């Protein structure tokens, strides 16, 4: 049933290309008819040779001309069918990939966090390609094979019914063999696709952390783990290949039995008085070969079909993932943002059995600079995820400008924040495009002004092509320079609220002092949330929240918390205590 549903969904993608499909089907039928008409002409040509020195050249000449025309038409129709089928195939796969990628954009971050990125890449690239090769490009062979079988039976019946029955009676045996083996290949190909996705994910993970792997001399362990996955891939691949490789020779064996039977029965019939002619026997043997050939092709297509269905199943599983909770029908655009944020009795955990934030409450006034500090895992970044609505609260409510964020359109909410994260991300594009990523309408003068404010104008000018330099992952910029560009991106946009999550973690101390001055100017009059481990960067915050185990345990200004002599004081002194 699952395979039927998968096939039905694939065919729904083919539906918009009905005209091309019809042309492809008609072309396939015309190709088959021309191909099958040729043996009749060859049989007539054989019968023109009556005996030695007795040849009907006039009739033979006409037959040869007809044979040339038929062969030419078959080639033309075959070309048209191939063009249409390829157009359909690649158009369908393009749409499937677009739908899958678009679904990824609508999935909650929890899915992205729990799924290996390499596995997702494998589904969109490798599995989609397998669907294209196995299902869609195999369609022409499958349909041509069906038409060939039906048309061949009709042509054979027109010559001799008895010999045709010999061929038809043996047909179910070939189909039974192919179906028996096909059932056993589907699960194996599905397992193969799963292990391939695991391998892609592992390679992607190791390439992303190759410096760490090398620094800790874990090359041998990494290779050993990869070899374990590779061995499993080999094992399941060999099994799948073994069963799939049995299909073709098994059906060929059955088909050769059919061909032999036709030859024996036909020979006796030609000898008997009133039987078929030698030319008709030659034609019949050709038809027997033509008749059995599609079974070999179809069996091969069925093998590819199992692989393609398994891959399509993985592709559709992404599309079937539950999307993030959609915006409410009456969700509003956040146009007048006063910067006030209220968090009331919020509880949240990534997994139900591990508590993280419990009954968290906070009131932030317009323009306040709120710093969030605490030990690793206390929930600092989680608060940011909830503010941006990357995750929804389990309980409680967050309000921005006195409006619950669940009643605000996500795009509108997120565009009200400017966020600089510890993890930098730049796309493969020019410096201009990277800085203007959130502000595509910005002028070049505005981009340069933002770059100067973020103290990255000087190193940009030193790049090979300045602002026109295309940034890639090949080490054009240092980690600190990448972070400065991310800061410039936010300074260009200047939204009413800011989130700085370890925004200066990769920047040298001298540049950090300059950036802090730029931040102070940028945060003036804007509500700002600052997550920091280096407590020296948050001294000027209006309020510092000290978090531990998902709760606020202390709250106040820098000096107030030091005088309190509590947990914040311990953290601060541990960083600046003189031994």
Distance CA 288, CA 276 (A): 15
Q: How far is CA 299 from the centre of its chain?
A: 29
Q: How much is the pLDDT for 52?
A: 61
The domain locations on the chain are 2-319, 341-576
Q: Show the tokens assigned to 545.
A: 């929240």
Q: Show the tokens assigned to 415.
A: 């565009």
Q: How much is the pLDDT for 578?
A: 47
Closest by Cα among 155, 173, 133, 213 to 33: 155
Q: How much is the pLDDT for 432?
A: 92
Q: How much is the pLDDT for 473?
A: 62
Q: Which SS3 state, helix, strand or coil, does residue 398 take?
A: strand
N-terminal to C-terminal alpha carbon distance within the chain: 72
For every residue of 490-526, DSSP letters joined together read: HHHH--SEEEEESTTTTS-HHHHHHHHHHHHHHHTTS
For every residue of 165-184, DSSP letters joined together read: HHHHHHHHHHHHHHHHHHHH
* Diameter over CA atoms, the chain: 123
Torsions phi, psi for 552 (to 5 deg): -85, 115
Q: Which SS3 state, helix, strand or coil, does residue 358 take?
A: strand
Closest by Cα among 399, 407, 322, 415 to 365: 399
Query: Which residue positions in the chain have pLDDT lower than 70?
Result: 1, 49-55, 135-137, 139-140, 170-175, 177-184, 186, 208, 211-212, 215-216, 247-248, 273-275, 278, 292, 295-300, 303, 473-475, 503, 505-506, 534, 536-537, 575-579
Torsions phi, psi for 467 (to 5 deg): -70, -15
Q: What are the distances in angstroms from CA 437 to CA 127, 210, 336, 486?
A: 31, 28, 23, 10
Q: Which helix (H) or strand (E) holds 343?
A: strand 341-348
Distance CA 528, CA 186 (A): 55
Q: How much is the pLDDT for 579?
A: 40
Which 8-state DSSP code applies to residue 116? -
Closest by Cα among 153, 101, 147 to 124: 101
Distance CA 547, CA 567 (A): 9
Sheet strand arrangement including 341-348? 357-364, 341-348, 395-400, 403-404
Cβ neighbors of 83 (< 8 A, separation 6 or more) are none
For every residue of 118-140, DSSP letters joined together read: HHHHHIIIIIHHHHIIIIITTHH
- Residue 543's beta-bridge partner residues? 370
Give 470-496 pLDDT, tens digit per residue.
Answer: 887 666 787 778 888 888 888 888 888
What number does CATH give the domain 2-319? 1.20.1560.10
Torsions phi, psi for 55 (to 5 deg): -125, 135
Q: How much is the pLDDT for 275?
A: 63
- β-pairing verdict for 497-501 and 527-531: parallel
- Residue 417's beta-bridge partner residues? 497
Closest by Cα among 13, 36, 34, 578 to 290: 36
Distance CA 86, CA 247 (A): 26
Q: Show the tokens assigned to 422.
A: 């510890």
Question: CATH number of the domain at 341-576, out of 1.10.357.10, 3.40.50.300, 3.40.50.720, 3.40.50.960?
Answer: 3.40.50.300
Distance CA 429, CA 476 (A): 12
- Residue 404's beta-bridge partner residues? 399
């Amino acid at each position: 049933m699952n395979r039927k549903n998968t096939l039905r969904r694939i065919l729904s993608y083919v539906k918009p290309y009905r005209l091309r499909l019809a042309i492809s089907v008609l072309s396939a039928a015309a190709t088959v008819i021309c191909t099958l008409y040729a043996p009749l002409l060859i049989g007539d040509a054989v019968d023109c040779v009556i005996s030695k020195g007795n040849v009907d050249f006039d009739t033979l000449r006409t037959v040869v001309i007809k044979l040339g025309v038929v062969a030419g038409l078959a080639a033309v129709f075959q070309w048209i069918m191939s063009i249409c089928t390829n157009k359909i195939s690649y158009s369908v796969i393009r749409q499937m990939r677009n739908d899958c990628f678009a679904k990824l954009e609508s999935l909650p971050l929890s899915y992205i966090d729990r799924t290996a990125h390499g596995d997702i890449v494998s589904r969109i690239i490798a599995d989609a390609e397998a669907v294209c090769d196995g299902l869609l490009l195999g369609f022409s062979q499958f349909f041509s094979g069906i038409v060939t079988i039906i048309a061949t039976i009709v042509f054979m019946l027109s010559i001799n019914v008895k010999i045709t029955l010999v061929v038809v009676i043996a047909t179910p045996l070939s189909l039974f063999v192919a179906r028996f083996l096909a059932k056993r290949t589907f699960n194996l190909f599905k397992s193969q696709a799963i292990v391939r996705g695991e391998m892609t994910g592992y390679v992607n993970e190791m390439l992303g952390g190759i410096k760490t792997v090398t620094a800790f001399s874990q090359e041998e362990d990494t290779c050993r783990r990869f070899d374990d996955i590779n061995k499993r891939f080999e094992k399941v691949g060999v099994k799948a290949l073994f069963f799939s490789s049995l299909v073709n020779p098994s059906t060929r064996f059955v088909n050769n039995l059919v061909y032999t039977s036709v030859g024996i029965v036909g020979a006796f019939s030609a000898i008997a008085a009133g039987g078929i002619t030698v030319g008709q026997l030659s034609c019949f043997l050709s038809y027997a070969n033509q008749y059995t050939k599609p079974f070999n092709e179809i069996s091969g297509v069925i093998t590819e079909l199992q692989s393609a269905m398994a891959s399509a199943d993985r592709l559709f599983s992404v599309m079937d993932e539950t999307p993030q909770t959609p915006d409410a029908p009456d969700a509003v655009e956040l146009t007048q943002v006063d910067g006030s944020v209220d968090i009331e009795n919020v509880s949240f955990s990534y997994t139900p059995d591990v508590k993280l934030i419990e009954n968290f409450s906070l009131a932030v006034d317009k323009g306040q600079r709120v710093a969030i500090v605490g030990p690793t895992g206390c929930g600092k970044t989680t608060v940011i995820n909830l503010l941006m609505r990357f995750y929804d609260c389990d309980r409680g409510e967050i309000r921005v400008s006195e409006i619950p964020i669940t009643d605000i359109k996500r795009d509108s909410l997120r565009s009200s924040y400017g966020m600089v994260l510890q993890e930098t991300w730049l796309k493969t594009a020019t410096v201009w495009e990277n800085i203007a990523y959130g502000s595509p309408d910005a002028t070049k003068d505005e981009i340069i002004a933002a770059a100067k404010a973020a103290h990255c104008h000087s190193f940009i000018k030193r790049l090979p092509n300045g602002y026109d330099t295309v940034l890639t992952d090949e080490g054009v910029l240092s980690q600190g320079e990448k972070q400065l560009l991310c800061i410039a991106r936010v300074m260009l946009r200047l939204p009413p609220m800011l989130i700085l999550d370890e925004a200066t973690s990769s920047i040298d101390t001298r540049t950090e002092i300059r950036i802090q001055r730029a931040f102070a100017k940028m945060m003036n009059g804007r509500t700002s949330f600052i997550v920091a481990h280096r407590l020296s960067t948050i001294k000027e915050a209006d309020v510092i929240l000290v978090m531990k185990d998902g709760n606020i345990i202390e709250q106040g200004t820098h000096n107030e918390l030091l005088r309190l002599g509590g947990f914040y004081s311990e953290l601060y002194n541990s960083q600046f205590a003189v031994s």
